Amino acid sequence: ATPTAIMVGTGKGAEHGILFKSAESLEVAHTVNTVVLDKTGTVTEGKPEVTDLLPAPGADPRELLRVAAAAERPSEHPLAAAILRRAGAEGLEPDAAAGFETVPGQGVTGQVDGQPVLAGNLRMMEANGLSAADFGADADALANEGKTPLFFAWAGRPLGVIAVADVVKPTSRAAIEEFRALGVDVVMLTGDNRRTAEAIRGQLGIDRVVAEVLPQDKEREVAALQQAGKKVAMIGDGINDAPALARADVGVAIGAGTDIAIESADVVLMKSDLLDAVTAFQLSRSVIRNIK
């Protein structure tokens, strides 16, 4: 592409709040045939809300919420924020858990009132000898509704399940349809559980979903697609997404995302709207078409 065509393309992008960090990113974007989307904060708003509070048999709902809030207070995860908002709304503002630790892709641990607490997905509970049946909740049914079931155990006993749901952004569905109309395959990657991810895939007409991905494996999924001959754009917002954004042929960061995602990307969407990602690829195509 000529310098003038690139300048015009970059300028048009800027008018839409699409920042191409280099001429190369604008040129390469037209070759992309696969788009990999992070779920939380990219396809969805990333501001989940508590939808269900399900104490385990014999457990008290208020104690479930109090212990959960204490466990989640030190966490920076959007799921933790949802639980703290709900607890606050019910007048519960417990002190943070002691000895807080994050278990990547699973949840958090610590001590509440001197007793060990586990907060996370079913994988975390199973790693500690508890099964879904011990909680007496139909976690699969929650996940089939697109909700994320979070499990809480305290002092070695199941305390309950708190379901959290995150709203899909208003334009995500249209953007996915447009990608597919451009002949681009759409893949969603998430650390969330398989059923929840599958429910969202079905709602949005996404071609393929890879769920229960550990943070460090997102980059590997992008590399595997590249090895299969695909030209891959990755779109994400989180710390977890940064290596995959750097690895992709074109990394696209959501403007409202974390600094590290924005630094690792080639293109930044200032309005955090997936339709602007479609516009970015259309711009690249038209810049290349005009000069060839």
How far is the C-alpha of 238 from the C-alpha of 254, rounded, in Å? Answer: 9
How far is the C-alpha of 242 from the C-alpha of 202, rounded, in Å? Answer: 27
How far is the C-alpha of 241 from the C-alpha of 253, rounded, in Å? Answer: 9
Question: Dmax over Cα atoms in the chain, in whole Å?
Answer: 71
Closer CB to ligand ADP, 80 or 254, in the complex = 80
Q: Kindly state the number of chain residues that form the binding site for ligand ADP, as judged by CB under 6 A.
A: 22
Dihedral over alpha carbons 152, 115, 62, 65 (to 10 degrees): -40
Assess 164 for contact with ligand ADP (CB under 6 A).
no
Assess 45 for contact with ligand ADP (CB under 6 A).
no
Per the CB < 8 A criterion, the answer to whether 236 and 38 are in contact is yes
Which entry of Mg ion, ligand ADP, none binds 94, CB below 5 to 8 A by partner kind?
A: none
The sign of the dihedral angle between the CA atoms of 262, 268, 270, 271 is negative
Tell me which amino acid residue 86 is. Answer: R
**3-class state of residue 205 by DSSP:** coil
Per the CB < 8 A criterion, the answer to whether 111 and 137 are in contact is no
Assess 108 for contact with ligand ADP (CB under 6 A).
yes
Which entry of Mg ion, ligand ADP, none binds 192, CB below 5 to 8 A by partner kind?
A: ligand ADP
Nearest approach, Cβ of residue 196 and ligand ADP (Å): 8
Tell me which amino acid residue 179 is. Answer: F
Which region, judged by CB under 6 A, interacts with ligand ADP, from 85-93, 115-123, 134-142, 176-184?
A: 115-123
38 in catalytic set: yes
Assess 267 for contact with ligand ADP (CB under 6 A).
no
How far is the C-alpha of 38 from the C-alpha of 110, rounded, in Å? Answer: 28
Q: Given the DSSP bridges, would you call strands 185-189 and 34-38 parallel, antiparallel or unpaired? A: parallel
Per the CB < 8 A criterion, the answer to whether 15 and 111 are in contact is no
Assess 257 for contact with ligand ADP (CB under 6 A).
no
Tokens of 108: 């958090």
Give the x/- contact pattern for Mg ion in 31-60, rule: CB under 5 A: -------x-xx-------------------
Phi, psi (deg, nearest 5) at residue 49:
-125, 150
Which entry of Mg ion, ligand ADP, none binds 160, CB below 5 to 8 A by partner kind?
A: none
Q: Which of 36, 54, 119, 248 forms a contact with ligand ADP (CB under 6 A)?
A: 119
Interactions with Mg ion, residue window 241-270 (CB under 5 A): none
Which region, judged by CB under 6 A, interacts with ligand ADP, from 25-33, 50-58, 117-125, 271-279?
A: 117-125
Assess 238 for contact with Mg ion (CB under 5 A).
yes
Q: Given the DSSP bridges, would you call strands 98-103 and 107-112 parallel, antiparallel or unpaired? A: antiparallel
Assess 243 for contact with ligand ADP (CB under 6 A).
no
Which entry of Mg ion, ligand ADP, none binds 251, CB below 5 to 8 A by partner kind?
A: none
Closer CB to Mg ion, 9 or 41, in the complex = 41
Catalytic site residue from 38, 166, 217, 249: 38
Per the CB < 8 A criterion, the answer to whether 40 and 77 are in contact is no
Give the x/- contact pattern for Mg ion in 120-159, rule: CB under 5 A: ----------------------------------------
Tokens of 201: 């895939």
Q: What residue ranges bind ligand ADP (CB under 6 A)?
A: 39-40, 72, 75, 77, 79-80, 105-108, 119-121, 148, 150, 190-192, 215, 238, 240
Residues forming the site for Mg ion (CB under 5 A)? 38, 40-41, 237-238
Active site residues: 38
